[in-house]
Amino acid sequence: MADRPLTIKRPEAFGRVAVLMGGLSAEREVSLKSGAQVLDGLRGRGIDAFGVDAQANVLEQLTDQGFDRVFNILHGTGGEDGVLQGALDVLGLPYTGSGVMASSLGMDKWRTKLIWQAAGLPVPEFAPVDEQSDVDGVIAQLRLPLFVKPANEGSSVGVTKVSRAEELAPAIAVALRYDPLVLAEQFIGGGEYTVAVLQGEALPAIRIEAAGEFCDYDAKYLRDDTQYHCPCGLSVEREADLRRLALQGFSLLSCSGWGRVDFLLDETGNPYLMEVNTVPGMTDHSLVPMAARVAGIEFGELVWRILETSFEVRKGWKGFK
């Protein structure tokens, strides 16, 4: 994990801040909502912040308008996958969150799972699939029900729960609309949890209880009947284990600054790492602000502390001299 950032006392120390939002990914609308919340929170703390909708000329906008640093709240491809991070490194513009490698790995669910699996961390059984996959073989390996998902999307975009054999091929076709790399994943049925990470610390765990089959895009952002439990209901010891595992999974990918690690628990309470989010949502339905509130961190302080992570010195990049 990267070095801890400086503690900033005065809003002027941040300079002129671009809040990058929107973009061109399938998560554009979520990013715009997140960005609006972040922008209000930063301005409420006296920070000279400006919203920037990241279109094709985004790098030109950042340089022409004289920004000193970037609060990146671009979800999905182009903003969360290392592409933007590499461009900002070249420009010499500090930014929030993880660097190039961690962002790229974190966006790729397949390679994330391979790394965690190689390190001995628990992950659901999984297999890459495409339109040529042997349906019967996939089901024999993973059993029904199972999930099919694009490897490089977030917010449950393109995810399908498959309960019958005839549903598998159409589910793969849906996921392929969003990404050429698609995963089938074992169903783990003991509950969905998430742990936010902020400046090297794991925040209280949240248990997610969706009214539908699973916590899909609508459940996350549109419906009001999804329930979030924080405290999560686990014993103190079980939650501490979950938070330690979140930090371990986060660190193994070289993630830094802030983020969120998602889990599934089986029926006996054993945790399985699902994925990491290096630019999590910050909408009024989002989980990082919820966990922060339970930890005693109000939204203005949260976005301030995330912006502090733009002062981190990330390993492996010293900039052009």
The Cα 155–Cα 76 span in angstroms is 8
Q: How far apart are CA 254 and CA 1, in angstroms?
A: 5
Q: List b or e across 111-141, with b for residues whose CB sees 16 or more CB atoms inside 10 angstroms.
A: bbbebbeeeebbbbbbbebeeebebeebbee
- Give the catalytic positions in this structure: 27, 155, 221, 260, 262, 275, 277, 281
- CA-wise closest residue to 72 among 95, 92, 48, 45: 95
Cα separation of 128 and 126, whole Å? 7
Tokens, residue 73 = 């709240």
